[in-house]
């Protein structure tokens, strides 16, 4: 690769024009096509944005060919091994890891702000108990947008900081409220004497007025899953947060939009879809049939938890989660898990299959995460909610970066129009 600009030729006029090449610190460079429409009257076409960089970003780097993921330059393996989720939040939001004092202060700040206002909690009353908790969470975030309507000016740093704190502090409380609502239990508020993950587990599973006991492996696993899901550069939900945020909308509403985008089975909803699929595969003997279905072009079935837009190699997060999955099941005394057995066998068969090899389809982050959630007692419909708690860190980091970036303009893609040309309007009486 050179750092020279590209020269393109207009085939109609023979006119030559330059596309400036811009280099990042690592990874592919980009061609700046911002002037191509004004100079040549032509749009670029890239459905699904597979070859389009929508912004410059300092936050997360992925090398999909080599299975590398780094937050602010730190490899995910190192962070997963040595950090707490709040340390990673601090890193994503501030660019640097905290020292001990900074971390202590940050933990206190997050804990001190974890109560939800009553009006936000009242949102629950509009939902039946069989509602999906992702729709409840999204509604509660919109309710936060209404509650903080008068106190969020996105141009003021102190108000942006309050917003960042409120999201990291209060989204777990909102998630727990949704969980207790769908399981017909009364709301249990945050316990400020506990760490971030322990408090989440207590708000989910604790009982009023009785001591909360939990297995330390549950909070260790939750901490790991939150770190691994914290950010993943310009994925669907993060791009949604950036896109909606680019209009200057109340940022709580932008985070709500991120929750909605994350819910889909092609994105964060895959963790729930993986367990549904493993349940549907009755026994190990039926795996071949499902692999054949996934390969059949006429069958919409796909192997959930397999494939990724960016990773064309083993998702580094999946490798870490796979290891934790064994540890959790072993420590919680569920060594013989039929679901894990099916997952391992399915992975083994798919990784040897020509179709999956040729298309570079490997297990992604969500292939094993649901098995861990299940083992620690979290029901399927809550898996993506936990993912959302984690991804709030990334959504915030990107929203803040976008707000401060002088290049930010309202997100407004163009299109290749393929509809009818101008035609005559017929009065209704003349239409056949
Ligand atoms: N099972 C079977 N075939 C697959 C799968 C799969 N899971 N994933 C991709 N393919 C095939 C496609 O049919 C396509 O085949 P073709 O070239 O013959 O048409 C080829 O592989 C490329 O797939 P695309 O859908 O074009 O890839 P894209 O980058 O658009 O989609 C995605 C990526 C959505 C993740 C896809 O692999 C998928 O649907 N996987 C299952 C859902 C899933 O696990 N999502 C979670 C992703 S991780 C996350 O968001 C947290």
382 vs 114, 126, 140, 151, 240, CA distance in Å?
20, 19, 15, 31, 21
Q: Which atom of ligand 1 is nearest to the CA of 229?
A: 51
Over residues 185-200, mean pLDDT: 96
pTM: 0.94
Residue nearest to atom 36 of ligand 1 (CA): 307
User: Taking 60 as the threshold, does the pLDDT of residue 270 lie above it?
Assistant: yes
User: Taking 80 as the threshold, does the pLDDT of residue 348 lie above it?
Assistant: yes
pLDDT at 211: 87
Q: Which atom of ligand 1 is nearest to the CA of 50?
A: 29
Please give the positions annotated as active site: 308, 366
For ligand 1, say whether the CB of 172 is within 6 Å of any of its atoms: no
pLDDT digits (tens, 9 = 90+) for 197-254: 999 999 999 998 888 888 899 999 999 999 999 999 999 999 999 999 999 999 999 9
396 vs 60, 105, 337, 406, CA distance in Å?
13, 19, 37, 18
Rounded CA-CA distance 331/194 in Å is 22
User: Taking 80 as the threshold, does the pLDDT of residue 335 lie above it?
Assistant: no
pLDDT at 263: 97
pLDDT at 17: 86
The CA 80 to ligand 1 mean position distance, Å, reads 26
Rounded CA-CA distance 165/349 in Å is 45
Tell me the average pLDDT of the chain.
95
For ligand 1, say whether the CB of 308 is within 6 Å of any of its atoms: yes
Residue nearest to atom 49 of ligand 1 (CA): 267
For ligand 1, say whether the CB of 309 is within 6 Å of any of its atoms: yes
Exposure b/e, 370-391, CB count within 10 A at least 16 = b: bbbbbbbebebbbbbbbbbbbb
Residue nearest to atom 39 of ligand 1 (CA): 266
């Amino acid at each position: 690769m050179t750092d020279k600009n590209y020269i393109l030729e207009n085939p109609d006029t023979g006119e030559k024009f330059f596309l400036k090449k811009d280099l990042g610190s690592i990874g592919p460079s980009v061609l700046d096509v911002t002037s191509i429409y004004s100079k040549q009257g032509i749009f670029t076409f890239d459905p699904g944005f597979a070859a389009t960089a929508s912004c410059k970003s300092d936050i997360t780097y992925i090398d999909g060919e080599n299975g590398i993921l780094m937050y602010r330059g730190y490899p995910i393996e190192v962070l997963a091994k040595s950090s707490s989720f709040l340390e990673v939040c601090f890193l994503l939001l501030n660019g640097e890891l905290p020292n001990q004092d900074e971390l202590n202060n940050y933990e206190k700040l997050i804990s001190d702000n974890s109560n939800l206002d009553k009006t936000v909690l009242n949102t629950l009353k509009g939902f039946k108990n069989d509602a999906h908790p992702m729709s409840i969470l999204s509604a509660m975030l919109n309710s936060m947008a209404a509650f903080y309507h008068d106190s969020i000016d996105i141009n003021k740093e102190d108000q942006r900081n309050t917003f960042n704190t409120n999201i990291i502090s209060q989204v777990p409380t909102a998630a727990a409220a949704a969980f207790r609502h769908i399981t017909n239990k009364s709301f249990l508020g945050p316990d400020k004497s506990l760490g971030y993950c322990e408090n989440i587990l207590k708000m989910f599973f604790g009982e009023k007025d009785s001591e909360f006991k939990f297995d330390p492996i549950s909070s260790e696993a939750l901490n790991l899953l939150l770190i691994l899901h914290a950010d993943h550069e310009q994925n669907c939900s993060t791009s949604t947060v950036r896109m909606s945020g680019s209009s200057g909308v109340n940022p709580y509403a932008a985070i709500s939009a991120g929750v909605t985008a994350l819910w889909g089975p092609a994105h964060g909803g895959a963790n729930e879809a993986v367990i549904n699929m493993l349940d549907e595969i009755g026994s190990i003997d039926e795996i071949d049939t499902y692999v054949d279905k996934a390969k059949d072009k006429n069958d919409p079935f796909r192997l959930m938890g397999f494939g990724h837009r960016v990773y064309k190699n083993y998702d580094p997060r999946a490798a870490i989660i796979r290891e934790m999955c064994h540890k959790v099941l072993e420590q919680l005394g569920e060594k013989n898990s039929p679901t894990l057995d099916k997952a391992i066998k399915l992975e083994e068969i798919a990784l040897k299959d020509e179709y999956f090899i040729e298309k570079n389809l490997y297990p992604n982050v969500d292939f094993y995460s649901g098995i861990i959630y299940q083992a620690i007692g979290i029901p399927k419909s809550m898996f993506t909610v936990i993912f959302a708690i984690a991804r709030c860190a990334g959504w915030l980091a990107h929203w803040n970066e976008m707000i401060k970036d002088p290049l930010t303009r309202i997100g407004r893609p163009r299109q290749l129009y393929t509809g009818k040309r101008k035609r005559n309007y017929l009065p209704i009486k003349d239409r056949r």
